[in-house]
Structure 1
Amino acid sequence: MSVETAPRRRRLEPDARRGQILACAVRLFGERAYPNVSTTDIAREAGVARGLVNHYFGTKKDLYLEVVRVMVTIPEVALERLPKGDLRSRVDASVSWFLDVVSRHSTSWLAAVTARGMGGDADVERVLAEAEEVAADRMLVAVGLADEAEHREELRGMVRAYGGLATSTAREWLQRGALTRAQVHLLLTVTLLTIVEQVIPEVIAGGDQAGATETVRPAQPISP
């Protein structure tokens, strides 16, 4: 790379420099599989010395894990920006926020949720699992159910299941082109409202037991 084409290095505060490096890593890991991105590539893209990448993030894998974490974790600021109105307004705003984020960073988000090039890696699985737990807690806050203690684990399980639907539906839109954004928004909004307004009240009231006609036993292994 010539001097004329090399990115100019500017003196930035540590947080700004770290954010700049992370933004470049997000973009590069979204464009290429993990083995095809080096810390040298990221440093060149960010206009910093390679040593700064290691200084702020450690190894290449550490940086990759941070990229995945940033792409799949719902930040607390997303809750703070939700409207103070009724449930439907908050659900609509939550879905809109999610779709805005995944469309703005579509290639990076898709690479993160599929962990492209790192399939089966225990550290990646841990980061994805942690993000699911954070999402469950923050979604309960968003729909006004953060204080429900007795059925908390059941509610968190439902929200985690909804999160899986949201991810799959967004992929149908962004990756396969099978759905439009409007269709995804409708599906996710109506589904979340149904869970909160119809399913969860049944669980809290014990309706899941009252309506049962028989005990569901664990599935037995199939004999060869």
Structure 2
Amino acid sequence: MRPSSSAKPKKREVLSRDARIQSILEASQRVFARCPYDEISIDDIALEASMSKGLLYHYFVSKRDLYLETLRSVLTTMSQIPEDFPDLHACLNAFLARFEASPALTRMVFRGGIGSDAEAEALLTDYRQRQFTLFCQSLGSNEADPLVRLALQSWISFFQEVCLQWLEHRDIPREQILVLLEQSLQAILSSTKRRIPPTEETSG
């Protein structure tokens, strides 16, 4: 039986350039979040994006180029938290909520993976600096104080590792993680003769 003349063949959806790039970035986020950079090939990302490797190379000239653009996109998402916190507890809680909402992206950012690439390091350093600035603001601290700066920058490495372990195992309630982070920072800051101001709940 011949098909009805009114039947129209299905048209393949044609994405705009921006939509195609966004589709590639979303696929690369999933792949880079699952595996270390060195274990991933362009073929893996093309497969995840359901496109040919040749088409992917039309938009990104190399795996490194794609990784850097993916990292920029991820850091933009990860930076979407408020910028005005009444105290450290509120600041930490906002970060944990952001990480909990995007665990795969958090792992990608905190684990790095491209080695000693200057451009990738610059992107991650900018994000780390934003964390540092928000923590300083929540503490009412002067960023120019060299001792506080050293203590807080060192603690941020601990903070990131704690968050990674928490997301990996999920066997500790968020409130206990908050207590651990606050108490650890208090212990470090005590050597600088500075204490964490009380939260709004405890000072009221």
> What TM-score do you get using the length of structure 1 for normalisation?
0.59
Give the conservation status (yes or no) of the 8 Å contact 1:68–1:112. yes
Q: Deviations over 1:55-94 (max 9, x none)?
A: 65542113223444555678654234x45xx32xxx3332
Q: In the alignment, is residue 121 of structure 1 matched against residue 116 of structure 2?
A: yes
CA distance in 1, matches of 2:36, 2:188: 38
Q: What is the number of equivalent residue pairs in this alignment?
A: 183
Gap change, CA 1:182 and 1:40, over 3 Å in 2:
same
Distance 1:67 1:189, change over 3 A: farther
Provide the rounded CA distance (Å) in 1 between the counterparts of 2:37 and 2:189. 42
User: Which of 164, 167, 185 is matched with 2:160 structurally?
Assistant: 167
Q: CA RMSD in A?
A: 3.9
Change (3 A) 1:58 1:142: farther
2:178 and 2:108 mapped to 1: Cα distance?
22
Q: Superposed, which structure 2 residues align to 1:12-27 within 5 Å?
A: 12=16, 14=18, 17-27=20-30
1:29 Cα offset (Å)? 1.0
Output one character per residue of 1:33-67: Cα deviation in whole Å (capped at 9) or x when no partner.
32443334334433566566556554211322344
The one-letter amino acid of 2:15's match is R
Extract unaligned runs of 5+ from structure 2. Answer: 1-11, 196-204
User: Is 2:100 the partner of 1:103?
Assistant: yes
Q: Tell me the distance in 2 between the aligned counterparts of 1:96 and 1:50.
A: 41
Amino acid at match of 1:140: C
Q: State the match for 1:33 in structure 2.
A: 36
* Matched residue type, 2:68: L
Q: Which amino acid aligns with 1:185?
A: L
Q: What secondary structure, in the 3-state scheme, does the structure 2 residue paired with 1:78 have?
A: coil
When normalised by structure 2's length, the TM-score is: 0.63
Matched residue type, 2:49: A
> Partners of 1:201 and 1:56 in 2: how far apart?
53
Residue identity (%): 23
Counterparts of 2:136 and 2:192 in 1: how far apart (Å)? 11
Aligned counterparts of 1:32 and 1:150: Cα–Cα separation in 2: 38
Please tell me whether Structure 1 or Structure 2 has the larger radius of gyration of its CA atoms. Answer: 2
Distance verdict in 2 for CA 1:178–1:165, change over 3 Å: farther
What does residue 180 of structure 2 align with? 187
Q: Distance in 2 between matches of 1:115 and 1:132?
A: 12
Decide whether the 8 Å contact of 2:110 with 2:164 is kept in 1.
Answer: no
Residue 201 of structure 2 is matched in structure 1 by: none
The 1:161/1:39 distance shift into structure 2, 3 A limit, reads same
Aligned to 2:198: none
Alignment correspondent of 1:11? 15
The CA distance in 2 between the partners of 1:93 and 1:42, in whole Å, is: 37
1:158 is aligned, of 148, 151, 154, to 151
Amino acid at match of 1:59: S
Please say if residues 39 and 50 of structure 1, whose CA atoms lie closer than 8 Å, have aligned partners that are also in contact: yes
The answer to whether structure 1 residue 133 and structure 2 residue 129 are counterparts is yes
Say if 1:63 and 1:199 are closer, same or farther in 2 by CA, change over 3 A: farther
Confirm or deny: 8 A CA contact 1:172 1:178 kept in the other structure.
no
Unaligned runs of 5+ in 1: 1-7, 204-224
